[in-house]
Amino acid sequence: MASRISHTTVNALDAYTQSVWWSELLGYREDPDDPNEPGHEECMISSPDGAHLLLFIDVPDAKSTRNRLHLDLQPTDRSRDDEVERVVGLGATQIDDQRNPDGTGWVVLADPEGNEFCILRSQAGRRRRRRRRRRRSFGRGVNARSRPVSSAGRRRTPPPRTVRGRRHPRPGPRP
């Protein structure tokens, strides 16, 4: 038997302020039967369908080192670049820019208390990239999956990407 994730918890200096900021960023809402209020030590918000919960808990100390866990966000109704602009307008700080000229990559940002998160390409941006890659690869000595083939006939694996010296996983295909 396996466990399931109940909710994601974020330590905060001000749980209420963080819950309001992340609600605006993600389009999440608070529980109307247990509303979040200033001064509450625990503030929960949930996705519109209730499938994901974020819990903010007051702690006495500020974040002092980088995150061991972070959220990767994918825009649902706009491009990655438009979403980065919107999120910076909400008060996020851009930490690192890993965007590439071909449209791949991500942007690392921090919320008002310094918790880092990434903005990835939108699903529409991924589909456009795949279509362009298929058109370019037609008849160019690549295998059926449009990946370069080494002289030994095996697919080459691209090197892992890193953000500030740490390995960052490549997003896999979505079901």
| Whether residue 128 is found in the same domain as residue 85 | yes
Domain end, chosen from 62, 83, 104, is at 62
CATH number for the domain including 45? 3.30.720
Helical residues (DSSP H) of the chain, grouped into ranges: 15-26, 80-90, 123-137
pLDDT at residue 62 in the model = 85
Give the Cβ contact number of residue 67 at 10 Å.
13
pLDDT tens, position by position, 113-130: 999 999 999 887 766 655
Domain count, the chain: 2
Q: Which domain holds residue 118?
A: 64-140
Q: Is residue 112 scored above 90 in pLDDT? A: yes
> Stretch 81-85: mean pLDDT, rounded?
96
pLDDT at position 58: 95
Residue 52 lies in a domain: yes
Cα angle vertex 42, ends 40, 47, to 5°? Answer: 120
Is 133's pLDDT higher than 90? no
